Amino acid sequence: QKEHETALTFFRRSVRLDPSFTYSHTLSGHEFVANEDFEKAATCYRDALRADERHYNAWYGLGAIYFRQEKHDLAEYHFRKALSINPQSSVLRCHLGMAQHANGRAEDALETLASALHIDPRNPQARYQRATIYMAMDRPEEALLELERVRDAAPREASVHFAMGRVLKRLGRPEQAMRCFLTALDLDPKDNNLISKTMARLDEPDLDEDESEF
């Protein structure tokens, strides 16, 4: 908390010295987001856009706030604005795909995420999001292929092993699913409650589980 306050003091001083310096506004917005003060963060991002309407980081910042507030139409609009300024950003395409999926357009989201991977094949978040969408569409085989690529890139990410376990459970491969859950538990003992509950229900159908989120 103290680090955030120190950073905000520094950025406010920078704004006073040069109100047209967009990054001071945007970085202030990021700090407010970190403190979950979204109203002040949005004000900072809008101040940045008043200084420079082509400052794509501020468009992205507003989109991220709206996404967290589940205002997905607004999130998609702002991500598109950011992408129109910086079309070669794999990260922005990934966030746009997430918003499209949240807006019920799974095929559009898959296409957008594929374009993110075309720009940066090493973007693990884009593959992870594609896996999430495939599971929501009840296409677990394709979800598993994506997650295997993510695991290869981030072998110590517990959430990836947990997600693979969920997919393998859906595919009727409980032994492999259990190995993935145990690996996730070993990598992240702090999350043992959720993982242990999932392991205990390994032989039960997962109809009550939300496939849209691992």
Both tokens of 211, joined, read 């496939």
This prediction's pTM:
0.86
pLDDT in tens, the chain (214 residues): 557 566 656 556 666 656 667 878 899 999 999 999 999 999 999 999 999 999 999 999 999 999 999 999 999 999 999 999 999 999 999 999 999 999 999 999 999 999 999 999 999 999 999 999 999 999 999 999 999 999 999 999 999 999 999 999 999 999 999 999 999 999 998 878 889 999 999 988 775 455 545 5
**Phi and psi at residue 10, in whole multiples of 5°?**
-65, -45
Select from 184, 155, 154 the least CA-distant residue to 167. 184
Q: How far apart are CA 156 and CA 112, in angstroms?
A: 27
Q: How far apart are CA 20 and CA 50, in angstroms?
A: 9
Contacts of residue 147, Cβ cutoff 8 Å, sequence gap at least 6: 127, 128, 131, 160, 163, 164, 167
